């Protein structure tokens, strides 16, 4: 794992290329950190009706993608997943499955930023979605106020610190990746003709590309 | 630029149906472990009696030695977590957990990874590329001959837990592509800052060599 050390290049003369503020990883155990990336792993035990209920909830974004609140609204989640665990391999006979007394909701996220801010955003931006997902779990206090919700997540997470966590691009945030992809699209035209322009034509086109793309720097 | 906006992912911006989103939804309906072109794999396997502490130590030591996931270029994120039990004797949890809460009688290993492409080829690559680490880890689990790549892949697939909902912020972008655009962003930022120190011909030459036709990965940390 690597420490968050990267710094944005400082502009020295026009054009004003504004460096992105550097996020920090706070509020979680060391095993859950790789560079700027944080892992959350949580289990919660579900009431009897949770499994059929969540089948419907999980289906909604696939059937009505445009109408469903998505995690894209939170600009710091790389990957996240929810799964329902109702059976596991039997340790006495690992080829067989044992059915559990209760279904358990598994949640994991790979994100950047502070843990507290992450849960705050979940609770304030995706309030209804959080209730839909965790409402069938024992002890779920609701997404707001945030303090009991954070305590609830922490109680589960404290026993589930990652023994190893890896990010392929640990010093990059979701925003940096989104901006880089946007910049890539904006540069397609100039990249295609750059070698065919005169130097003066190129310098003019480059200046225009910088003006258009500087929000993506 | 118009060409950029004609990307299927951006059709919605032009008032057209977002075909990519519709395609992704159909794929997720067929396989809930998919988000765009990325796959979310999760397997939970029982740890042998009294081997949990040793396994944790092995996994924690991977940090110092460099992650084995780094040898698998399709991997975006990966983790190993030990699940001690569902029953929790913390009084705050006991206040709401059900009376017949599951007591597993064994600790379990959670293995979760987000990667590009198909499951089977990734797991086969995984077992073939890092056989020593894979053996060291899953030899602590019950029910598998971890020295056999075939047996390990079969075991992981047999213990897979399906995604209910899987989200990726950039599910159509491979690891290699993420690294390429991040390096391009760094190069473009540097060139934007230095543009007034260069002649137009120098600026053009640098842009062409570093951005329009860059060499494959230069090793810049991203």
Dist. CA A75–CA A174, nearest whole Å: 6
Task: Report angle CA B218, B123, A99 to the nearest 5 degrees.
Answer: 140
Q: Over range A122-139, report the average pLDDT.
A: 92
The pLDDT mean for chain B works out to: 89
Span A165-178, pLDDT tens digits: 999 999 999 999 99
Q: Using CB atoms, which residue from B29, B78, B170 is nearest to A166?
A: B78
Is B12's pLDDT higher than 60? Answer: no
CA B57 – CA A181 distance, rounded (Å): 39
The pLDDT score that the predictor gives to residue B145 is 95
* pLDDT recorded at residue A24: 59
* Cβ–Cβ under 8 Å, residues A100 and B101: no
Measured in degrees and rounded to the nearest 5, phi and psi for residue B53 equal -65, -40
Cβ contacts (< 8 Å) between B108 and chain A: which residues?
88
Q: Which helix (H) or strand (E) holds A89?
A: strand A77-90
Spatial separation of the C-alpha atoms in residues B100 and B121, rounded to whole Å: 40
**What span, in angstroms and rounded, lies between the C-alpha atoms of B136 and B147?**
9
Q: Which residue has the higher pLDDT, A18 or A6?
A: A18
ipTM over 0.90: no
N-term to C-term CA, chain B: 26
Determine whether the interchain pair B190/A9 forms a contact, defined as Cβ–Cβ distance below 8 Å: yes
Token code pair at residue B175: 């690891």
Helix (H, G, I), strand (E, B) or coil at B114: strand
Is the predicted pLDDT of residue B75 greater than 60, yes or no?
yes
Task: For residue A188, give how far its alpha carbon lies from the nearest alpha carbon of chain B (Å).
Answer: 7
Residue of B nearest to A197 (CA): B204
Q: CB distance B97–A45 less than 8 Å?
A: yes
Binary contact (B181, A11; C-beta < 8 A):
no
Nearest CA in chain A to B58: A163
- Predicted confidence at residue A64, as pLDDT, reads 76
pTM exceeding 0.90 = no
What local confidence, expressed as pLDDT, does residue B29 receive?
Answer: 77
Instruction: Tally A–B CB contacts below 8 A.
Output: 302
Q: What is the pLDDT of residue B43?
A: 98
B187 within 8 A of B220, measured Cβ to Cβ = no
Given this model, what pLDDT does residue A11 score?
34
Nearest CA in chain A to B39: A79
Question: Which of B77, B94, B110, B136 to probe the A interface (max A CBs under 10 A)?
Answer: B77
Greater pLDDT, B123 or A69:
B123
């Amino acid at each position: 794992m690597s420490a968050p050390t990267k710094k944005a290049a400082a502009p020295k003369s026009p054009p004003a290329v504004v460096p992105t503020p550097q996020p920090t990883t706070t509020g979680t155990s060391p095993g859950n950190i790789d560079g700027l990336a944080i892992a959350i792993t949580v289990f919660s035990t579900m009431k009897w009706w949770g499994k059929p209920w969540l089948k419907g909830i999980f289906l909604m974004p696939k059937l009505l993608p445009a109408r469903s609140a998505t995690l894209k609204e939170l600009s710091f989640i790389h990957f996240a997943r929810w799964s329902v665990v109702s059976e596991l391999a039997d340790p006495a006979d690992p080829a067989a499955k044992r059915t559990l007394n209760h279904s358990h909701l598994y949640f994991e996220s790979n994100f950047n930023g502070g843990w507290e801010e992450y849960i705050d955003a979940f609770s304030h931006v995706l309030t209804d979605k959080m209730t839909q997902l965790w409402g069938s779990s024992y002890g779920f206090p609701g997404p707001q106020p945030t303090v009991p919700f954070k305590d609830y997540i922490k109680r589960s997470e404290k026993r589930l610190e990652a023994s190893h966590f890896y990010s392929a691009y640990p010093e990059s945030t979701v925003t940096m990746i989104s901006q880089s992809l946007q910049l890539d699209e904006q540069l397609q035209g100039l990249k295609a003709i750059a070698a065919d322009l005169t130097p003066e034509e190129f310098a003019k086109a480059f200046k225009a590309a910088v003006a258009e793309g500087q929000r993506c720097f | 630029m118009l060409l950029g906006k004609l990307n299927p992912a951006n059709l919605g911006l032009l008032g057209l149906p977002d075909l990519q989103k519709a395609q992704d939804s159909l794929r997720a309906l067929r396989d809930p472990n998919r988000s765009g072109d990325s796959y979310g794999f999760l397997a939970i396997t029982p740890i042998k009696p009294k081997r949990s502490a040793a396994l944790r130590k092995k996994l924690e030591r991977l940090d110092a030695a460099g992650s084995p996931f780094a040898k698998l270029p399709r991997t975006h994120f990966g983790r190993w977590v030990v699940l001690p039990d569902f029953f929790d004797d913390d009084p705050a949890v006991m206040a709401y957990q059900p009376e017949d809460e599951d007591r597993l009688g064994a600790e379990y290993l959670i293995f979760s990874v987000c990667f590009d492409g198909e499951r089977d080829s990734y797991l086969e690559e995984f077992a073939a590329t890092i056989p020593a680490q894979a053996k060291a880890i899953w030899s602590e689990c019950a029910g598998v001959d971890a020295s056999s790549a075939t047996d390990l892949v079969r075991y992981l697939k047999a213990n897979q837990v399906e995604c209910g909902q899987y989200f990726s912020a950039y599910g159509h972008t491979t690891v290699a592509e993420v690294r390429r655009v991040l390096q391009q962003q760094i190069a473009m930022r540097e060139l934007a800052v230095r543009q007034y120190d260069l002649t137009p011909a120098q600026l053009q030459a640098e842009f062409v060599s570093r951005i329009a036709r860059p060499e494959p990965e230069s090793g810049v940390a991203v």
